[in-house]
Structures are given as C-alpha cells and as structure tokens.
C-alpha cells in the first residue's frame, strides 16, 4: 500500500486496521542469488538497490538481531558531504544527492532535513584546513561557505563569544548538510526492498561461511544453511568476525562510540554544529532532543556502551561551546560499535575469496553514507566492477600505499 | 573502567592511552621479501570479540607502556604487565624454541 | 482539612510557610513540600500538557519517574526546562511555569491535535509529508519543529558553579528505604566504609510516607534512629539528594548530588550540583520499586495518580489528592491507600479491584471486586469514574495500582537483561555477580520483613547476617493486570509521548513487532521518564498483540542515565575560559612586557606579534622580519618539545627513531632529523643535538611534543626494551629562545661568559654548553629556522624572562626586536621550510623534498612501509613554492590549483596551497603548495581556485626556497 496523506486518511476511518506489514517476515529459502549479511542501513540499502536498480531478483538480507538494530539505529543522524580527498568527495556527494530524493524514491518519510552542518574553527591553521576542505568541495560543485566570527554569531548568538578558552574564529558551513530520522532510513529501505521481493530475515545469525573450491557457496546460520552465489558483508562493527569466517583478516578495529540525547526542548539549535576545539557535535531532533556525541572511548570494544570519562569529555566541550546548555539535562546515552579502519575511510571491494564482497570500515561516518554505500555495493555485487565514485575504496590500498586519510593519523584506528 | 598499573595502582581509564592489539610483532628484517609480514604488522588485526592483549600507555601517570589483558565484550580486565616484560618474554620465546 | 491540605500529620514544617508562583499565580506551601505537593494541597492538579495531543496533565507520581508534571523552573541563566514538580523542593520565591502550551495551560490551542488523533497514530509522519517534495522544507518540517520539545532552554550562560568529586568506598548503598538503611547499618556496624545515597530530599525512602511498624516503633521513627546512628559513624557518608545515575565498568558509579537545587541560589562557596564518581568494592541496589499505572480511558486526567503517590502526598506532605477519591487497583497497594486516606478523613468513594478475590483487608471500604474502570470522566479535572458495566461513581481523584516494577535500571546498565518473575508480575534484576547485588523491593521482595532481612544480608561483608528487627508486614498481593479491554476514550501507555493502547498493536501489525522496533515506531518509553511507568504495560500489550509471552517480548535496553543529568554537572568546573588549562611559556612574562599579542596554539599561549602603536598584525610582523633580517630578533621557541635522551644505546635508539642517522653525529653538533610513522608517512621533525657520547637532546614540533614522547616510550618499552637508554621530557625545564639575524652573535657575545663566540668555536650546527651572565648554565645551538645567522639559547625555565630581558638590553645597539610566530612564519615560508601545513600526516619525506634523508643502511620506524608504490608514486603531491603572477595578488592558504584552461573539478585538481605568508623581503605574498608531481613542474603557471572566497588568479610554481637560495645568510 502506497503511503500518502490519502492512504493515511482512508485508514483513519477504518481504525488503522487495514495497514499491511511494512515488510514480510519470511522463512529463509534454501538458496539465493545474493545474500547480504547485516540488516542495517547499508545492508538493506544494498538489497534495495540490487533489486530496484540492478535487477537482481533473488536476494536475502540476514540480520542477527532485529531489523536496524546496529549502527543505523544508534547514530547521531547527520548527513553531509564535506569531504576533502578525491577518493571520498564524489562518493559522499553521490550519497547526498541520493538522500535528496530518497523519500520519494522509497515512499517513506525519513525526514531528510537539510538545515546545515557548521564546523567551527578556532585557529588560523584550522581555518586554512577548512579552506582547503571547502575548496575541495566547491571545485567539484558541492556547496560550502567559509564563515567568519560575525557570520557564526548571527546564526548562533548564544555560543560562547565572551569568555571562551578557544575563541570561535569562524566555520565551514554546508547548507545542504543536515539530519535524517535514522530508524526511518532502515525502515524505508526495508519496506522498499521487501516490495521488490527481497527476503529480510531477522534473528538469523551467520555462524559460518561455506566455501567450495575457494568459492563461496552459502552461509551457515542459526536458521540453517542458506546457499548463495554471491555473499555481501555489511556487518559494520562485526565485520572482522564475519570476515574471519572466510579466513580473512581485515585492517579494522572495533571501537565503541557513545552518543547522547537530551530531554526535549523547544527549537533552540537549528542545524548541526561541531565544536573545533574539543570533541562535541550537536543537532536538535524534530522531537526536540539535543542529539550529540564526541569521540570514541579509545579502547577496542564490542560492548555497546562506554564509560564516564568520555561522557564528561564530550559534555565539557558542549558547555564550552554553548554555556547556556548548562541546565539542560542529558536524558540517555548509548554506544555503537564502529568498524574503525586503518585510514579512517571505508572499504567497498571484492575480496580474495571468490564470491565474497566486503562493505566495511565506515568508522563513525557510516550513516551519511548509507544510500551511496548501498548503491555502490549493489553495483559492485551486480557488475563485479566498482561504481565510479567508489573506485578508491579498495581493500588492497593499504598494501599498495594508497590510503585515504582525511585526518592524517595513519594506521592508528582510534585516532581517526 | 579501572586499570591497575603495576607502578601506580588502580587508576581510572582516562589516565591511559590505548594503542590496540599487542599481538602483532614488529618484523626484524628489511628485506623486500618480508613486505607481507610488515603489512600484516602495520595494518591487519584479529580484532577479537573476547580477550585481547592490548597496549595501554599510562600517559597520565607514570608514562609506562603496559599490556592489559581485557575482554572486549565485557571490558573485564584480567591482567596487566609492563610492555617491556611482555616484549622481553616474547623475544625470548622463539630463542627457546630454536634451541630445541 | 482546609482545602486539600490535611489539618495534621505529614513531614512538612507548618511553622515555615513559603511563597511561590506557578504561571505567575501566587501560591503558598510549607518547608518540606515539593512543588507538586504544594500545588496539590492548593487544589491544583493541572500542571502540564502532553507532547503530541497537548492533553491536560497532573502529577501521576510523587517521585523521579514523573512524566507529566514538568515545569520550567527559575529564570535567566538559571532557567531549567522539564524540571519534575514532584522532585523539586519548595523554596521561598520559587518561580515555575508550565510548558508546551499556548496561550495558557488551561486553554491550549495545541489541544486541537487531539481532534485529529484518528490520523496522528503511531508513525503517521513516516507515511506522509512527502508531496510535493518542496513542501517538506518550507512548510511541513517548520510546523513539526515548532511543535517539538516541551520546555524552553535558556540562552544565557549559567551563573552558578558545578563541581566534580570522587569517592571510594567498601559499600555503596543506593536507596535509603528500609532495605537500604538496613544494608548501610549492617555494613557500617561491620566496620566498612559506607556511602548511602538517595535521590530524595530526605533519607528514609518509603518510610517517609508508608505507615510501617519496625522494632515496636513507627517506621519513620525507626528510620530516624538508624539515620542518627549512621550519621554518628565516621565510616559512613550520607548523601541525600543524590541520584546514582549509572553503573559503569569495574563498579564505577556516576552520581549527582543536588547540593543547591532546593535553594533559590547556592550558598556562598557551594556549587549548584556536584557530580560524583563513586568507586565501590560492593554496591547494593535498594532503589525500591515503581508502582505501575493501569491503562484505561482517561487514565491521564489530572487527579489520576498511582496509589502509592497518593499515599505519599497525604502521609508525607499532608496533601489530599481529592475530597472524594476512587481507587482502581489490581494490587493490595490500592487498599492501603484507601485506608490511609480514610484515616485522614478523605472520603473514599470506591475501591474497584480487578480481582474477584483478594486476601487483603477491605473492611469499612466500599470495595467492588472483579470490576474495572472503563474511563475517567472530566477533562482538566476528574469528575467521576465509569466502570465497564457503566456504573458511574463520582469522585475528584483516582488512585490506581497495576502492580510494581522493581527499579532494576542500574543493574542493567552494563548489558545484562532483567528477568521476568511471574509471582510478582514484574521484571527483577539480573544476577551480575557479588559486587553489585539487589535487595528488597528492588529485587521484587515487597514484604517489609523481607526488605529488612535482604538489606542486612546485602550489608554483611563477611560471616552471618545479623538478626533484623521485628516489623509488621502489609499485604502485598498483586494480580497481573495491564489494561482495560473495554476502555472508553483514550487510554495512555506512555503519558508524556501520548502513546495509546491502540498504537502498539498497530506497530505489531505493520511489522514493528520486536519491542525495540515498537518502541522506536510508537515512541513509547522514549520520553523524559524513559518508560519507568509504562514500559511493562507496553510490553504486555505487545505480547498479546503478537501472541507471545511477556518474557518472550522482553524489555528494551536500560541505559544511563537513570534520571536525566544536567550538562553543568557533567562539565563541572571545565567551563568558559577554564575549559582547558592554559600553558604559558617561561618567557610569557617577558613577552607581555614587550606588548605581545598571544595566540592559542594547542594549550599554549604563544606570542604572535609585538605591535607598536597603530600597527596591525601584518605591519607588526613585517617590521619584526625586517628588523631581524637586517639586525637581530628574539623569538620565544620554548613550546618546542624537548626530550633528553641518555644511555650507551642512545645513538642506536635515535637511529631507529629517525629516518636519518644520529649515531654518527659528533659530540657538540646538532642535526636536523626526520621521524616517520611506521606506515612510512612523516611524523615529526626537529633538531637533535649530541651533548656527550651518551647524551642527546631532541627537539620536536610544538604540536607533536606529547605524541613524540609517547612514541619514544613505546618504541623503547614495547619494541626494543633491550636498548640501554633512558629519556625524559624536559620541555618545561628549559626556556628556549631564538636569536636570529646578522647581529645575533654580537648580541650574544654581550652576555656569554669567557671567550666570545666565533665561527671556530661555534660553527653552524654547533651545540654546546656554556655559561652566560656570570655563571648561569645555558645551552647554545647554532641552528636557524629563519635562514639567518642564528642561535637557539636554552636556559633553565625560571631564568627565561630574565635572560630575554638581558638579551634585549644586549641587542639594543643592534636594533633588536622581539618577534612572534607570525614573523617566524613569514621567514620560514620565505625559506621554504615545512611546518604544520606540510607535516599534515599524509606527506612522505620525498613529498617534503627530504627523501634523501631516508637511510638505506639501517632499520628505522617507517622504512619498509615507505617503500610502497603509493608512497613513491611520481604523481604524488609534493612541496613546491608558489607565487602570484601578478605581484599585487594575495594568495590564500587552502586554495586549490588547476592547470590553466582546465575546468574546476576534483578530477582536475592538482593540489592546494598549504601555507601562505607575506614576504617583506620579496614584497609579495608567497606560499608553499602541495602539487602533483611538483618538482618536475617548477615554472608552470597554474590557476588558483578559491571558490569559497570567489577568488581566481594565476600563480607560478617555483622552488620552495623563495629567499636566499644559497643560504648565504646563515654565515653572515
């Protein structure tokens, strides 16, 4: 049933009894053309585009928990395409363009809200770095503006301009950046994929990858063996574990990133703002909560929870940027497991195992990439060729020395 | 999270800086044929869900590098040794093997 | 009884009346009231509006789980949104405002949303607002955002202070009801260090409002005795007004002490709140249980509250919720409330018990067994209840009791899930080991005698638990009952978010049948109370909708914070200018005297330029450069990292750290060193000198000082512990200053002791110890960042400013000037020296033009990885000089470079300008750039693209050394 104000009205008169399930809850078939491991944003988007754009018909998405229970449901909902390096910039802009038409495409309102992403700078070298970044965006036709202190003050008059430790000297603004209702992205893709015949199988954990003559033939799961011709991994923080089932060792460490939401407040902060002199970024959701985060805790972790030092560290930076939030209360904190790669950039590539495809290493930037990640991974799986904007995300780039290191931190995942 | 530094006692986690898995061992040869070993050492990680020996620097304390044995799923810590002892023991192990 | 204030009883101090305002109306209450109790005693139940439908709401609890009675408290920078009226203690002059209503609480336009509630079901917004596309941004979303949130945040800085503190204890007891008091008492008598924390304004928990009998005394008297004993013990810390909000690894607990929340403003030297990290060897969860509402029509009408809340108001605050009260219950708690109210002289119009049979004493009460309430009549106030059999009973308040939910939250913060217990129809805490145990009603044990016994057991660290006092047990029967199937009107599961009983089955029908999906789709449990009241009801409703059992459905994830915590508390003292410490160099005082303008560089404050009257930064820095290049200048370079490295293997160690060789460096000489990361990328650079055979002093960049130190420690301890070497950061021990310019030696010669400096005794790259100013130990390095004949002089930090002053005097005849980092930067760009803009973590030695420094004769960090094809690719961007074709053009750092004639695109991008400076010597803006295959393209004219600033110009790629290519000035 198509979602619209008309279908909503119609159902209102019948007590909403006639709504169909947004997706089926099928039992796994014995075999599929493509099996995607991971029913999160990237996995569901991959299945959606495989079915819709690349004509693959017989697809399953296997999710060990409930649909969208991974990082798609525990991020800070930010979208942006303010990247600097040639390997990244066109890819993230593709993602932004897909966001801009997504809701009409999959007929689900995910509340794509382009209220701007502003990165504050506090020193001249930081402004120079933003100029480099902003011009990398502009050179490829992506919107970017370099603001001075007065511009920032006009947008956010209640930030600390009077007694700051690190004065706000300006910022880099991408007006097309913003936020999206994260769960709705998973649901929209799931519903869209399901309508194109994709089997979304929840509570089905992959326990092994079966290979014959070096080629993937299927997966062992908690719901039995499921055969496939091609297997795509989109398991985020669990990528290393799943890849190990095929004998692969990845350039990835798993780390916990905490995020937070405040109590609901009347509209207060319009766009997304990142502090440049500490770890803090914030936006306000359509429900009124300040959604914010900072940095990973720093130690390898598979626990979806962190510790107090990072909580304090992030909140300190928040109050440094916005002294007025002192009396606002933090409602809830949570943690997600980030697949931190060795250069801070992702991998969308074939692997050394025939039929095994890898989508991993998103660090804590995976949400904004969801549409393009799905699209490019689907392209790769369907055509065995990388999509034009994702040619740099090769697994062998580390061996060959073609890292895509936006932060310049090198092979130290917890610094990206 | 609390870490018991052999020098300083039990200290809060923010005094420590982490550098990941201590298992990969730096190759000793510069021969081009050892490139795979180097690549493995610098870039590849087992990244286990479970117990890991990891480097932790008591950067906010005595500035000693430690190897902490910690479970990445529960965060439970079961041991802490000086990185120098860990390295010495590891450097010794193959020699012993060689004698046999 | 006057109005709704009971004429006697309660723990309020009737001798201390307090005035306050709510929505501008004046009220009064007593010391000991909460805002909610004072309003209820004044006959006011209407305290707020709900989120979606703007339904009129009153307090439904008397505690921390309150979802409805949220107010804006205080004003200006002290304004707090969403403060629970049930938790805030009344103080003289308290100002509160209701929220989420316009124009007033009684008449709220937003309530029209209720009329469209047939459409506004769970998830309706996911299905609409999509057409036409352009309407989302311009119309739909602004409307939705306007409706967002409840209270309004302040836009002013908070004038009050917050603090952080740490506590270590043997036993942390969370909750001070009968269980907690018994646990704390037992542990304290056993000699343990005990912290007893309770979120309430007074210790005592349920004993503050439940009539109990312990040890032959009233419960409250027994509690007072125990608290007095605990207060007298040195090994006990009592922490009322302290909420333990989270449980973290290794038994670390987060807590907030609301030191001054009960005052209009904090007392002198007191913070508003104090955030605690409590590290406990053992912790006892004695947080009690939350009474559950029942889901039935109009269960949100102001005047409807939980049975225990109604007891709380009457027994503790002497506030009657109504004059004629009906009770709707599936538990014995409802009877207890009815009895207590009756004893206070409040008329109980009915006790409607869903249970056909119950053992509880119901004598003298109008009990209706096996009956259910279909709806509450009335809008902004209760007028009657209507039973499912259409019986109407008039009343002005309703107490409801649907069972108890043990407050398991903290024990589930580290991933363990609570366990369903059929006998109490509730989730009980998981077993998380002996370091954190639950006791009493937090564990699902509701009899007072069990609470005391379990408290004593939990407080016993060794041996047998002591005997506990005798007490009277109240009936605590519970029958599982979640919602009234034949309800009429709207029946709420989650009050604040307006989730109704119909929303959950709808979610299940649409495929959101997992509790986590249902939560996200309906928003149940996502309000400020995080589902403390309604989640179990939601789970039960979803269970039925999906044909599963409650334990099969399970709970959502419990996470910090147990109740919301202010940013201020978590930030503590790290506010404003104190966000991070300030590092000042030993020459700071001198620089201030010289009129320096300082700039933040990491934590350091560095002197940036030294303006004379009327000069801006550019004029000042240009003058400083010219004076230095023509005479002599003095610059504070103390922020450079300085690492002392000693030992027989020091040279060998440096050989492994640097890509070039140091073991061959002669004693008394300095050498520029380049350090790579293990991935082959340049890490840091600096000059390292050999002071003795086994003694080196290394300098690092300011930015990387700490990281290089950690790296050295790692390399030695983790990689090569067999090397006999030791090292220490001496950055703070030495003041270091650059003396640069053709008159630098003449200037220095006026302060050095003994033989004058000459090219023979101090040649270029000499490093020596000497004394100055009549015996002061110093180190002198003949090195140059400016390109001039220059020295760096290091003296013990405490003498820094004094030596600088002496140098200024010594150089007066030569026109000495102080110069700052701006002038430094101009001179280094003129000389093509790389700095932060080029050492950006992605450049190789070869990119910087320093490829030849990489030794092929030894192992060093980064050697192997640096040989990868990607790092030796000829097309890599490498450092070149850049100058505008039109000398009048100003280059800007961050501009990108294109071949002339190419259209702007990432694919055509050739590189970017990494550093720019005005060159006083060349009379134009110069830069360094990272440019593809740059060294082969010297002389090429390129297009500069600065789309951000809308500037385009032509520029020429040139050698990075813009000035004095032959380095003649080093020896002038």
Q: Is the pLDDT of residue C644 over 90?
A: yes
Q: What does the pLDDT look like over C815-862, one tens digit per residue?
A: 999 999 999 999 999 999 999 999 999 999 999 999 999 999 999 999
E strand segments, C842-923: 877-884, 896-899, 911-919
Put simply, the answer to whether B45 touches A411 (Cβ < 8 Å) is no
Q: Name the minimum distance, in Å, from the CA of B26 to any CA of chain A.
A: 14
Q: What does the pLDDT look like over C565-600, one tens digit per residue?
A: 999 999 999 999 999 999 999 999 999 999 999 999
Q: Which residue of B has its CA nearest to A338?
A: B47
Put simply, the answer to whether C718 touches B88 (Cβ < 8 Å) is no
Task: Give the pLDDT band of residue C142 (cuts 50, 70, 90).
Answer: confident
Q: Name the minimum distance, in Å, from the CA of A38 to any CA of chain C.
A: 16
Q: Is the pLDDT of residue C553 over 60?
A: yes
Q: Which chains are adjacent to chain C, needing at least 3 Cβ pairs under 8 Å?
A: A, B
Return the pLDDT at C855: 97
Q: Is the pLDDT of residue C139 over 90?
A: no
Q: Which helix (H) or strand (E) holds C162?
A: strand C162-174
Task: Give the pLDDT band of residue C147 (cuts 50, 70, 90).
Answer: confident
DSSP string, C811-854: TGGGT-EE--HHHHHHHHHHHT---TTT-SSS--TTTTT-GGGS
Contact with chain A for residue B93, Cβ under 8 A: no
Put simply, the answer to whether C714 touches B77 (Cβ < 8 Å) is no
Three-state DSSP at A173 gives strand
Put simply, the answer to whether A240 touches B45 (Cβ < 8 Å) is yes
Put simply, the answer to whether C718 touches B83 (Cβ < 8 Å) is yes
Q: Which residue of A has its CA nearest to B72?
A: A301
Q: Name the minimum distance, in Å, from the CA of B42 to any CA of chain A.
A: 7
User: DSSP assignment, residue C259?
Assistant: S
Put simply, the answer to whether B83 touches C678 (Cβ < 8 Å) is no
Task: Give the pLDDT band of residue A404 (cuts 50, 70, 90).
Answer: very high
- Which of A6-10, A78-82, C34-38, C850-854 has the weakest average pLDDT? A6-10
Report the greatest alpha carbon distance in chain B: 44
Among A302, A343, A405, the strongest candidate for a mutation testing the B interface, having the largest count of B CBs within 10 A, is A302
User: Which chain B residues are closer than 8 Å to C706 by Cβ?
Assistant: 59
Q: Per-residue pLDDT averaged across C307-316, rounded?
A: 98
Question: Could you tell me which of A372, A285, A366 has the C-alpha nearest to residue A68?
Answer: A366
Percent of residues, chain C, with pLDDT higher than 90:
95
Q: Per-residue pLDDT averaged across A93-106, rounded?
A: 96
Find the angle CA(A274)-CA(A279)-CA(A283) to the nearest 5 degrees: 35
Q: Which tokens sit at A146?
A: 């370099």
Put simply, the answer to whether C155 touches A158 (Cβ < 8 Å) is yes
Q: What does the pLDDT look like over C406-447, one tens digit per residue?
A: 999 999 999 999 999 999 999 999 999 999 999 999 999 999
| Option in A252, A302, A399 nearest B45 (CB) | A252
What's the whole-number average pLDDT of chain A? Answer: 97
User: Which chain C residues are closer than 8 Å to B71 by Cβ?
Assistant: none
d(CA C676, CA C862): 5
Put simply, the answer to whether C570 touches A330 (Cβ < 8 Å) is yes
What's the whole-number average pLDDT of chain C? Answer: 97
Q: What does the pLDDT look like over B27-46, one tens digit per residue?
A: 999 999 999 999 999 999 99
Paired residues of C860 in beta bridges:
none
Q: Which helix (H) or strand (E) holds C39?
A: helix C35-41
DSSP string, chain B: -EEEETTTEEEEGGG-EEEEES-S-------GGGHHHHHHHHH-B---SSEEEEEEE-TTTT--EEEEEEETTT--EEEEEEHHHHHHHHHHHHHHHHH-
Return the pLDDT at C137: 83
Q: Name the minimum distance, in Å, from the CA of B1 to any CA of chain A.
A: 7
Put simply, the answer to whether C571 touches A160 (Cβ < 8 Å) is no
Q: What does the pLDDT look like over C487-537, one tens digit per residue?
A: 999 999 999 999 999 999 999 999 999 999 999 999 999 999 999 999 999
Return the pLDDT at B94: 62
Contact with chain A for residue B15, Cβ under 8 A: no
Contact with chain B for residue A342, Cβ under 8 A: yes
Put simply, the answer to whether B87 touches C710 (Cβ < 8 Å) is no
User: DSSP assignment, residue C55?
Assistant: -
Question: Could you tell me which of A199, A188, A226 has the C-alpha nearest to residue A24?
Answer: A199
Task: Give the pLDDT band of residue B95 (cuts 50, 70, 90).
Answer: low
Among C248, C411, C571, the strongest candidate for a mutation testing the A interface, having the largest count of A CBs within 10 A, is C571
Put simply, the answer to whether B42 touches C679 (Cβ < 8 Å) is yes
Contact with chain C for residue A262, Cβ under 8 A: yes
Q: What does the pLDDT look like over C921-950, one tens digit per residue?
A: 999 999 999 999 999 999 999 999 999 999
Among C906, C908, C915, C925, the strongest candidate for a mutation testing the A interface, having the largest count of A CBs within 10 A, is C906
d(CA A180, CA C141): 12
| Option in C511, C567, C677 nearest A328 (CB) | C567
Q: What does the pLDDT look like over C714-750, one tens digit per residue?
A: 999 999 999 999 999 999 999 999 999 999 999 999 9
Put simply, the answer to whether C714 touches B2 (Cβ < 8 Å) is no
A192 CB-side CA count, 13 A: 29
| Option in B32, B43, B65 nearest C714 (CB) | B65
Put simply, the answer to whether A408 touches C945 (Cβ < 8 Å) is no
Return the pLDDT at C117: 84
Return the pLDDT at C98: 97
Q: Which residue of A has its CA nearest to C75?
A: A327
Q: Is the pLDDT of residue C2 over 60?
A: no
Three-state DSSP at C806 gives helix
Put simply, the answer to whether B12 touches C277 (Cβ < 8 Å) is yes
Put simply, the answer to whether A307 touches B1 (Cβ < 8 Å) is yes
Return the pLDDT at B91: 82
Q: Is the pLDDT of residue B99 over 50?
A: no
Question: Could you tell me which of C364, C289, C368 has the C-alpha nearest to residue C327?
Answer: C368
ipTM of the complex: 0.97
d(CA C405, CA C408): 8
Q: What does the pLDDT look like over C445-469, one tens digit per residue?
A: 999 999 999 999 999 999 999 999 9
Q: Which chains are adjacent to chain B, needing at least 3 Cβ pairs under 8 Å?
A: A, C
């Amino acid at each position: 049933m198509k979602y619209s104000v008309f279908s909503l009205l119609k159902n209102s008169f019948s007590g909403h009894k006639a709504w169909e399930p947004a997706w089926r809850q099928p039992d796994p078939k014995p075999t599929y053309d493509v099996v995607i491991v991971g029913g999160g944003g990237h996995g569901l988007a991959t299945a959606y585009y495989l079915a819709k754009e690349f004509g693959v018909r017989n697809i399953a998405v296997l999710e060990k928990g409930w649909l969208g229970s991974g990082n798609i449901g525990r991020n800070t909902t930010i979208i942006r395409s303010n990247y600097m390096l040639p390997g990244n910039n066109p890819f993230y802009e593709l993602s932004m363009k897909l966001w801009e038409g997504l809701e009409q495409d999959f007929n689900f309102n995910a509340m794509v809200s382009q209220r701007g992403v502003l990165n504050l700078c506090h020193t001249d070298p930081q402004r120079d770095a933003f100029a480099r970044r902003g011009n990398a965006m502009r050179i490829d036709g992506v919107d970017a503006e370099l603001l001075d202190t007065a511009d920032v003050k006009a947008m956010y008059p209640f930030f600390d301009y009077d007694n700051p430790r690190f004065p706000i000297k300006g910022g880099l603004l991408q007006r097309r950046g913003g936020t999206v209702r994260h769960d709705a992205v998973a649901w929209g893709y799931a519903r869209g994929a399901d309508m194109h015949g994709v089997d979304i199988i929840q509570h089905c954990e992959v326990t092994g990858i079966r290979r014959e003559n070096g080629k993937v033939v299927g997966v062992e799961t908690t719901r039995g063996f499921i055969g496939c011709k091609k297997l795509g991994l989109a398991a985020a923080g669990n990528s290393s574990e799943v890849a190990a089932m095929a004998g692969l060792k990845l350039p990835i460490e798993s780390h916990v990133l905490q995020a937070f939401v405040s109590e609901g407040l009347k509209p207060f902060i319009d766009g997304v703002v990142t502090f440049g002199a500490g770890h803090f970024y914030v936006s306000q959701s359509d429900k009124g909560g300040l959604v914010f985060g900072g940095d990973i805790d720093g130690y390898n972790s598979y626990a979806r929870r962190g510790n107090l030092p990072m909580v304090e560290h992030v909140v300190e930076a928040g109050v440094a940027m916005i002294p007025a939030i002192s009396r606002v209360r933090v409602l809830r904190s949570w943690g997600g497991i980030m697949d931190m790669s060795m250069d801070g950039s992702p991998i969308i590539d074939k692997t050394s195992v025939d039929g095994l495809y890898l989508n991993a290493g998103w660090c804590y930037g995976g949400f904004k990439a969801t549409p393009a990640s799905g699209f490019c991974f689907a392209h790769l799986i369907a055509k065995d060729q990388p999509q034009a904007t994702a040619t740099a995300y090769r697994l062998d780039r580390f061996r060959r020395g073609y890292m895509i290191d936006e932060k310049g931190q090198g092979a130290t995942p917890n610094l990206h | 999270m609390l870490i018991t530094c052999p020098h300083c006692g039990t200290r809060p986690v923010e005094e420590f800086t982490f550098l990941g898995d201590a298992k990969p061992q730096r190759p000793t040869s510069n021969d081009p044929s050892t490139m795979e070993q180097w690549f493995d050492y610098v870039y590849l990680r087992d990244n286990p869900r479970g117990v890991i020996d990891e480097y932790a620097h008591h950067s906010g304390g005595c500035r000693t590098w430690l190897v902490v044995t910690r479970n990445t799923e529960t965060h439970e810590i079961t041991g802490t040794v000086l990185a120098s002892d860990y390295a010495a023991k590891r450097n010794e192990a193959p020699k012993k093997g060689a004698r046999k | 009884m006057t109005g709704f204030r009971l004429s006697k009883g309660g723990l309020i101090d009737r001798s201390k009346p307090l005035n306050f305002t709510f929505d501008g109306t004046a009220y009064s209450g007593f010391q000991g009231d909460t805002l909610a109790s004072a309003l209820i005693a004044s006959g006011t139940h209407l305290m707020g509006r709900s989120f979606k439908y703007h339904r009129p709401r009153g307090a439904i609890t008397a505690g921390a789980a309150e979802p409805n009675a949220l107010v804006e408290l205080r004003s200006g920078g002290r304004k707090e949104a969403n403060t629970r009226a049930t938790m805030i203690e009344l103080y003289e002059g308290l100002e509160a405002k209701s929220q989420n209503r316009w124009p007033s609480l009684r008449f709220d336009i937003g309530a029209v949303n209720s009329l469209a509630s047939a459409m506004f079901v769970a998830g309706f917004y996911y299905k609409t607002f999509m057409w036409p596309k352009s309407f989302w941004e311009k119309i739909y979303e602004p409307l939705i955002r306007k409706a967002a949130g409840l209270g309004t945040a302040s836009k002013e800085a908070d004038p009050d202070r917050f603090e952080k503190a740490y506590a270590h204890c043997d036993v942390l007891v969370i909750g001070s009801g009968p269980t907690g008091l018994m646990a704390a008492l037992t542990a304290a008598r056993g000699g343990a260090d005990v912290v007893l924390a309770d979120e309430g304004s007074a210790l005592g928990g349920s004993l503050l409002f439940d009539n109990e009998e312990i040890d032959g005394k009233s419960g409250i008297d027994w509690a007072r005795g125990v608290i007095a004993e605990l207060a007298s013990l040195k090994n006990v810390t009592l922490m009322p007004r302290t909420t333990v909000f989270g449980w973290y690894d290794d038994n670390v607990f987060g807590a907030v002490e609301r030191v001054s929340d009960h005052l209009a403003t904090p007392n002198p030297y007191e913070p508003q709140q104090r955030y605690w990290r409590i590290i406990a060897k053992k912790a006892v969860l004695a947080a009690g249980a939350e009474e559950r509402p029942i889901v039935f029509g109009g269960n949100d009408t102001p005047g409807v509250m939980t049975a225990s809340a109604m007891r709380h108001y009457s027994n503790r605050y002497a506030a009657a919720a109504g004059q004629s009260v009906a009770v709707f219950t599936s538990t014995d708690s409802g009877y207890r409330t009815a009895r207590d109210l009756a004893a206070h002289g409040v008329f109980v119009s009915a006790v409607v018990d869903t249970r056909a049979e119950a053992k509880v004493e119901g004598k003298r009460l109008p009990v209706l067994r096996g009956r259910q309430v279909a709806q509450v009549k009335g809008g902004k106030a209760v007028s009657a209840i209507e039973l499912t059999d259409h019986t109407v009973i008039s009343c002005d308040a309703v107490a409801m009791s649907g069972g108890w939910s043990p407050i398991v939250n903290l024990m589930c913060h580290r991933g363990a899930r609570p366990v369903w217990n059929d006998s109490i129809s509730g989730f009980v805490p998981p077993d998380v080991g002996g370091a954190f145990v639950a006791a009493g009603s937090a564990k699902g044990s509701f009899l007072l005698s069990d609470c005391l016994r379990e408290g004593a057991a939990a407080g016993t660290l060794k041996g047998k638990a002591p005997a506990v006092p005798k007490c009277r047990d109240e009936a605590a029967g519970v029958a599982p009952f979640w919602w009234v199937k034949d309800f009429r009107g709207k029946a709420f599961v989650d009050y604040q978010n307006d989730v109704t009983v119909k929303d959950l089955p709808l979610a299940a029908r649409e495929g959101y049948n997992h509790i986590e999906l249902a939560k996200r789709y309906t928003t149940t449990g996502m309000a400020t109370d995080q589902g403390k009241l309604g989640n179990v009801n939601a789970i039960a409703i979803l269970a039925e909708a999906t044909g599963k059992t409650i334990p099969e459905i399970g709970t959502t994830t419990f996470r910090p914070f147990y109740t919301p915590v202010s940013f201020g508390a978590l930030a503590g003292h790290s506010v404003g200018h104190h966000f991070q410490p300030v590092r000042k160099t030993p020459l700071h005082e001198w620089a201030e005297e010289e009129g320096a303008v300082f700039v933040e560089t990491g934590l350091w404050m560095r002197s940036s330029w030294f303006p004379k009257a009327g000069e801006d930064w550019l004029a000042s820095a240009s003058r400083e450069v010219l004076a230095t290049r023509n005479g002599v200048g003095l610059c504070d370079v103390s922020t450079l990292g300085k690492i002392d490295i000693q030992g027989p293997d020091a040279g060998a160690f440096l050989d492994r750290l640097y890509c070039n060789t140091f073991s061959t460096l002669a004693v008394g000489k300095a050498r520029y060193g380049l350090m790579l990361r293990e991935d082959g990328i340049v890490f840091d650079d600096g000059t390292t000198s050999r002071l003795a055979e086994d003694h080196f002093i290394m300098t690092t960049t300011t930015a990387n000082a700490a990281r290089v130190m950690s790296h050295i420690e790692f390399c030695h301890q983790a990689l090569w512990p067999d090397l006999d070497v030791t090292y220490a950061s001496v950055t703070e021990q030495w003041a270091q200053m650059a003396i640069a310019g053709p008159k630098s030696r003449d200037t220095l010669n006026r302060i050095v002791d003994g033989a004058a400096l000459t090219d023979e005794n101090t040649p270029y790259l000499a490093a020596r110890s000497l004394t100055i100013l009549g015996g002061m130990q110093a180190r002198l390095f003949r090195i140059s960042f400016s390109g001039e004949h220059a020295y760096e002089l290091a003296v013990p930090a405490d003498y820094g400013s004094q030596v600088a002053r002496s140098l200024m005097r010594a150089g007066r005849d030569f026109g000495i000037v102080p110069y700052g980092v701006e002038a430094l930067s101009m001179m280094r760009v003129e000389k093509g020296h790389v700095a932060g803009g080029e050492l950006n973590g992605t450049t190789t030695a070869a990119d910087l033009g320093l490829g030849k420094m990489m030794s092929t004769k030894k192992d060093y960090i980064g050697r192997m990885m640096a040989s990868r094809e990607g790092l030796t690719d000829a097309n890599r961007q490498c450092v070149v000089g850049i100058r505008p074709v039109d000398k009048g053009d100003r280059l800007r750092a961050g501009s990108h470079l294109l071949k002339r004639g190419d259209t702007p695109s990432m694919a055509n991008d050739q590189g970017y300008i990494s550093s720019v400076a005005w060159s006083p010597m060349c009379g134009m803006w110069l830069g360094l750039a990272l440019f593809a295959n740059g060294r082969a393209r010297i002389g090429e004219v390129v297009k500069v693209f600065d789309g951000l600033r809308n500037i385009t110009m032509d520029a020429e790629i040139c050698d990075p050394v813009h000035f004095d290519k032959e380095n003649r000035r080093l020896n002038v």
